[in-house]
Amino acid sequence: MNKPQTTVVLAMTADGKITDRASSPARFGSKADKLHLEKQISFVDAVIFGAGTLRSYGTTLPITNLELLQARQKRSQPPQPIQIVCSASGKINPQLRFFSQPVPRWLLTTATGAKFWQEKTEFEQILISRDDRQTKYSQLIEWTAILSQLKQLGIDKLAILGGGKLVASLLEVDAVDEFYLTICPFIFGGQNAPTPVEGRGWLQQQGRQLELISVKQIDREVFLHYKVKRVRNSEFGVQNYSL
Ligand SMILES: NC(=O)c1ccc[n+]([C@@H]2O[C@H](COP(=O)([O-])OP(=O)(O)OC[C@H]3O[C@@H](n4cnc5c(N)ncnc54)[C@H](OP(=O)(O)O)[C@@H]3O)[C@@H](O)[C@H]2O)c1
């Protein structure tokens, strides 16, 4: 697939929740985790997040750390990566503080979702994917074409900042290269609290396999870095154990 290098960056509780049952803005990570997130964002040309994430926070995380800003300048990157909002419906409140943050904004949506925004200035660029209501929800965005378009538009590195629905749809088409997961010392529980990967899920044999790149502990948090293994279908899934 001709696409940018893609990295998911998420914090989760020890029971695998990325927020609580009320889908509150996730602010349970430590200062170290926030810096880790900012650092990962500083490496990329663009970040992408689902409309659910934007509705929850109302804002995005801009890079403010001076060293990270200087490093971007040295790499001839603009100060802030492009912020791409993925929304099939396009139903996003234009009053959100996000729209007054000094960051470049793009919208990835369907033809229906684009209608409201097309004559407006909130988004510098609107990418329109197919709008086929017969299509499974998770594939409303035709990722292969869109990711190739992003690459052509100069986005070599893309950070995927959640939430779980967006990550699931990208994993479904094998478009995720790496995961950074921070495990934070909380349990939120709740069957409706989102997890890093939502969607329909896979049976064990089809489960995506990861290669552990690094593990780091800082105070009460654990920082995991995984690479998504590209394996043939016959090699997919968990090992068989006799119980
Ligand atoms: N702990 C963390 O690191 C972290 C990070 C990010 C988010 N969060 C939390 O996660 C929660 C949101 O997660 P979520 O899974 O509910 O939502 P999400 O993935 O952020 O957003 C879902 C919405 O995004 C759009 N979308 C996502 N994938 C799409 C696709 N393939 N095609 C078309 N549209 C797509 C749709 O927007 P429309 O409805 O407009 O069509 C969909 O309803 C928030 O509470 C946030 O605080 C936590």
- Read off the pLDDT of residues 57-113 as tens digits, 9 standing for 90 and up: 999 999 999 999 999 999 999 999 999 999 999 999 999 999 999 999 999 999 999
Higher pLDDT, 57 or 132: 57
Residue with tokens 């593990």: 215
| Rounded-to-integer distance, Cα 75 and Cα 172, Å | 32
Q: Whose CA is nearest to atom 22 of ligand 1?
A: 52
Q: Which residues contact 141 (CB under 8 A, 6 or more apart)?
A: 86, 88, 108, 110, 129, 169
- Tell me what pLDDT residue 240 has: 52
Please, what is the average pLDDT of the chain? 93
Domains for the chain: give ranges and CATH numbers.
5-235 (3.40.430.10)
Higher pLDDT, 221 or 137: 221
| Rounded-to-integer distance, Cα 98 and Cα 230, Å | 36
| pTM of the shown model | 0.95
- Tell me what pLDDT residue 140 has: 75
Report CA torsion sign: 167, 171, 175, 180.
positive
Q: What is the pLDDT of residues 145-161, one digit of tens each?
A: 999 999 999 999 999 99
Q: Which residues contact 71 (CB under 8 A, 6 or more apart)?
A: 42
| Rounded-to-integer distance, Cα 21 and Cα 213, Å | 31
> Token pair of 221, please?
């948090």
Q: Whose CA is nearest to atom 13 of ligand 1?
A: 163
Distance 70 CA to ligand 1 centre (A): 31
Ligand 1 pocket test: pick from 166, 184, 195, 224 the residue with the most ligand atoms within 8 Å of its Cβ.
166
Distance 86 CA to ligand 1 centre (A): 8
